Chains A and B, each alone.
Chain A
Amino acid sequence: GQQLNQSPQSMFIQEGEDVSMNCTSSSIFNTWLWYKQDPGEGPVLLIALYKAGELTSNGRLTAQFGITRKDSFLNISASIPSDVGIYFCAGQTTDSWGKLQFGAGTQVVVTP
């Protein structure tokens, strides 16, 4: 079956540093999504990517849809304490009718 690998599993960084995480898949996706989940809440959509090679920014966040359509990365620049949380990538294949496959998540901890 499909496998979606997300790394790193966790990151401990100092405030002001940049953060980078990525996901790779054994299958081709037509959509890549990045979510953030805070404790006690549901995942919140950060960035949606629909085209191979697409590079999209949302404030300090930048994400790219890999050219092979099997990978994506998310960068967070100049991290701040509120960036703490778990970040999930999610992918959707052409024939999956909206069904998402999620990565295992990257836990980000920001220290002052």
Chain B
Amino acid sequence: SAVISQKPSRDICQRGTSLTIQCQVDSQVTMMFWYRQQPGQSLTLIATANQGSEATYESGFVIDKFPISRPNLTFSTLTVSNMSPEDSSIYLCSVATGNSNQPQHFGDGTRLSIL
């Protein structure tokens, strides 16, 4: 499966600031996704990162808060904007190759704490 690298692996940020998380894959992938995992919780899909077009956001998530870029088939970024303590979570990138039935593989996540 593809090797997925996320940066940073963790960060501590001040409220009101923004942080951009990078996801780099070692091979071209069809689909890239961003998930949030709040402390002690399961994974919730934030959005599908579409190459060359605007991301598709899930209910409860908006572009102004979580802008996403995907300039090519191996890279995507997620920005967490105007952060508050409620944004303290693990943010995970996942990828799927081939068609939509291919299983998703995850990066190790970015552990974000907001003070």
What are 22 of the A-B contact pairs (CB < 8 Å)? A30-B101, A31-B101, A40-B108, A42-B92, A42-B94, A42-B109, A43-B92, A45-B104, A90-B43, A96-B100, A98-B31, A98-B48, A98-B100, A98-B104, A99-B45, A99-B48, A100-B43, A100-B45, A100-B104, A101-B45, A102-B42, A103-B42
Segment 86-115 of B: residues with Cβ below 8 Å from A: 92, 94, 96, 100-109, 111
Chain A interface (Cβ within 8 Å of chain B)?
30-31, 33, 35, 40-45, 48, 50, 88, 90, 92, 96-105
7 smallest A-B Cβ distances: which pairs? A42-B106, A98-B100, A48-B103, A102-B43, A102-B42, A42-B108, A43-B106
Query: How many interface residues does B have (CB within 8 Å)?
Result: 25
- Contact, CB under 8 Å: B105 / A45: yes
A102 contact set on B, CB distance < 8 A: 42-44
Closest B-chain residue to A104, C-beta based? Answer: B42
Classify the secondary structure of A's interface with B: loop
Listed in ascending order, the chain B residues whose CB lies under 8 Å from chain A are 1, 4, 31, 33, 41-45, 48, 58, 92, 94, 96, 100-109, 111
B115 to chain A, nearest CB (A): 21
Residues of A within 8 Å of B111, CB to CB, are 40
- Give the total number of A-B pairs whose CB atoms are below 8 A apart: 61
Q: How many Å from the CB of A56 to the closest CB on chain B?
A: 12
A43 touches B43 (CB 8 A): yes
Does A42 contact B107, Cβ atoms closer than 8 Å? yes
A88 touches B92 (CB 8 A): no
- Given A30-B101, A43-B106, are A98 and B96 also a contact pair (CB < 8 Å)? yes
Minimum distance in angstroms from B9 CB to a CB of chain A? 9
Cβ of B96 and Cβ of A44 under 8 Å apart? no
A41 lies within 8 A of B108 (CB): yes
> Which residues in A have their C-beta under 8 angstroms from that of B33?
98-100
Q: How far is the CA of A40 from the CA of B102 in the complex (A)?
A: 25
Name A103's closest neighbour in chain B (CB-CB): B42
Neighbouring A residues of B1 by C-beta, 8 Å: 45
**A100 (CB) vs chain B CBs: closest residue:** B104
Query: How far is it, in angstroms, between the C-alpha of A104 and the C-alpha of B38 when the chains are bound?
Result: 11
15 extra interchain contacts, Cβ-Cβ under 8 A, other than A31-B103, A98-B33, A104-B41?
Answer: A41-B108, A42-B92, A42-B94, A42-B108, A44-B106, A45-B1, A45-B103, A45-B104, A92-B101, A97-B100, A98-B100, A99-B45, A100-B43, A100-B45, A102-B43
